[in-house]
Amino acid sequence: MYAILDIETTGGKYNEEGITEIAIYRFDGHKIVDQFCSLVNPERKIQPFVVNLTGISTEMLRNAPKFYEVAKRIIEITQDCILVAHNAQFDNRILTTEFDRLGYPFELDTLCTVELSKKLLPDLPSYSLGKLVRSLGIPISDRHRAQGDAKATVSLFKMLLAKDTSKEIIQTSVRKDPKRQLEPKLLDIIETAPPTTGVYYMHKKDGTVIYIGKSKNIKKRLVQHFTNDNRKSKKIQLEVAAVTYEETGNDLIAQLKESEEIKQNKPVFNRALRKTLFSYQLSSFTDEIGYLNLRIEKADGRKNAITTFTNYQQAKSAVYKITEEFQLCQKLTGLHQTQQSCFAFGVKECYGACIGKEAIEEYNGRVLRFLEKNSYENNHMLIIDKGREVDERSVILIENGIYRGFGFFNLNYQINNPDILRSIISPMANNRDAQHIIQSYLRKNKVLKIVNLPQEATM
């Protein structure tokens, strides 16, 4: 059974789009057996170019159902189906993201009619839906509206099924459920695993932990472990007798917990993660004139680091962003090796610290703002993020720039109370890997909030 669908969205930043219209046809390989189409109130702004493309405006959606109001119907009509769409990766991502916002794990195998068309109908001038169906003589109405595009995709898919006489391409394109190929022991392990974020522990028969991992979806990650055919995975499949897990509610806690417990337990299949997670760091120094400089250098535990990076390219990319955000000099951040003015000065994006033109105190003031924002030194703060339940939050405590540990609290608690902090924080080692994980995560991801604490409020 197939669920052939099309989704129209608000446009905007990646993973921040909302659905404005959805159409789904349940297709048994021969005929449509069920259908659903609805406008959806995305509760966010629609990009002007999308309004011009689809004709769907904010006014049209004012009284439309919100996604949570149609979610149950979507689950019903797609149950036990393979999701089919023209550019299935996009539609599946949008749908999965919407269900993630509701806390529901929406997972379907997917089939993309763009990819199938390229294999079964090679050398066509275009594989965009409109041009493709027109070149194949398939009628299409209401282009760039969900119902019209989904109906055209149904006709296209029927043609592709007929073209695939050997059925080889369809079979290899569908990401079939690998559980059917697994041993009963591994099937049982997967069945009891949750599709949630956390840390999992693989045990031998005697209970020994042989592997520790973390995932945003533990069930899906175990399927990957148990269906991969590389050497390490095959060894794990032979030795694993049970898998236990701990939910963490968010990926930052999962990373910290995984790193700490691998160091403590030293599982036989975690050799790679026993090593340090980062190889480069960012440091600062004052030059002979008095300007504060930033420098990328090889990680060195004997030196103070502002922040750390997994590799040099990541470090360089971050320093470019820092230089731009704080209007720093490329020469003094190590991005432009020169004895003269830096490149940014030539395009009027540097105020001239590279040639001594900008006042030292003004330039250093901007560097100090960056340091205050990013350095752990003397920081007293709580990092608050999602917890394991709806009414729960996670908290990470940083005290005097030292990572103290993490815990979980109910929303009714006042966590800035020192006694409550003591009771909920699980103490953790303050190693440089933990600081790297936290700093790297905060650079790339948003958390619910960061609370700066006065010294007397910490433990």
Pairing relation of β-strands 292-298 and 280-286? antiparallel
Q: Are 122 and 34 in contact (CB under 8 A)?
A: no
How would residue 136 be classed by pLDDT, with cut points 50, 70 and 90?
Answer: confident
Biggest CA-to-CA distance, the chain: 78
Residue in 65, 129, 128 with CA at minimum distance from that of residue 98: 65
CA–centroid distance for 383 within its chain: 19
Round to whole Å and give the CA distance between 251 and 271. 21
What torsion do the CA atoms of 91, 95, 101, 103 make, to the nearest 10 degrees? -140
- State the span(s) of the chain assigned CATH 3.30.420.10: 2-173
Model confidence pLDDT, tens digit, residues 215-254: 999 998 998 898 887 888 889 999 998 898 889 999 999 9
Sign of the Cα torsion 14, 406, 314, 366 reads positive
Please report the pLDDT score of residue 273 as a whole number.
Answer: 53
Average pLDDT over residues 157-179: 57
Average pLDDT over residues 32-39: 93
pTM above 0.75, yes or no: no
Pairing relation of β-strands 280-286 and 242-247? unpaired
| Assigned superfamily of 178-272 | GIY-YIG endonuclease (3.40.1440.10)
Average pLDDT over residues 1-10: 91
Instruction: Write the secondary structure of 173-233 as one string of H (helix), E (strand) and C (coil).
Output: HCCCCHHHHCCHHHHHHHHHCCCCCEEEEEECCCCCEEEEEEECCHHHHHHHHHHCCCHHH
CATH says 2-173 is which class?
alpha beta
Output the six-digit token pair for 409. 């609290």
Q: What is the DSSP string of 126-137?
A: --SHHHHHHHTT
Average pLDDT over residues 337-348: 88
Q: Are 392 and 409 in contact (CB under 8 A)?
A: yes
Pairing relation of β-strands 82-85 and 2-9? parallel
Output the six-digit token pair for 420. 């409550």
Please report the pLDDT score of residue 294 as a whole number.
Answer: 93
CB-based contacts of 281: which residues, under 8 Å, 6+ apart?
296, 297, 298, 299, 300, 303, 305, 306, 307, 308, 309, 315
